[in-house]
Amino acid sequence: MCTVKFKLSVALIGTCCLLHTVNLWADQRLGIGQALDARTLSGWDIDVDPSGEGLPSGSGSSLKGAEIYSQKCQACHGENGTGGAANKLTGGTGSLTTSAPLKSIGSFWPYATTLFDYIRRAMPLNAPQSLTYDEVYALTAYLLNINGVIDNTKVIDASNLAKIKMPNTNGFIPVID
């Protein structure tokens, strides 16, 4: 009995060693598993949190954002964010408790800073991260304006974006640590 267990253990250790060697070989051959350097990481480390931490310098207003929107966003999101091939970016106020909820920026999103983060990171869908920071601020201001959150002359930047109160800020249950 003991001999069988011993043989099994030796076989198991042998298999593990073999797999480890194969993994090391694959890692070296495919060039995976290497440490990221700071420069490479900085391209991914662009999150903006609800307090505004992570917002870059730059600024923009809705008036400027409207121009950029018509050139780079409207084809998918429709005139004034009313929707086309892609999501509606406005509307839905009061719809969340109905049988046809529309989760838009104005009706659902709890933080204005998330809008900046999302646009900078992912839009336009066909050319993500191609916008300047000023353009992202201007588009954020424009989308906040068409959702009735700010007026169209307000200039937003890193110092005031996090202070903007979204209509549905209180519609979420706080996470308790």
Q: Are 144 and 112 in contact (CB under 8 A)?
A: yes
The one-letter amino acid code at 70 reads S
- Positions 72 through 111 that interact with ligand HEC (CB under 6 A): 72-73, 75-77, 86-87, 89, 104-105
Closest separation between CB of residue 76 and ligand HEC, Å?
A: 3
Burial 80-113 (b: 16+ CB within 10 A, else e): bbebeeeebbbbbeeeeeeeeebebbbbbbebbb
Binds ligand HEC (CB under 6 A): choice among 119, 144, 158, 164: 119
Count CB neighbours of 32 within 10 A: 8
Least distance to ligand HEC, CB of residue 25, Å:
38
Measured from the CB atom, is 12 or 75 closer to ligand HEC?
75
Nearer to ligand HEC, 131 or 158 (CB): 131
Of residues 24 and 125, the one with the C-beta less far from ligand HEC: 125
- Helix (H) / strand (E) containing 20: helix 2-30
**Given the rule CB under 6 A, which residues bind ligand HEC?**
72-73, 75-77, 86-87, 89, 104-105, 118-119, 123-126, 139
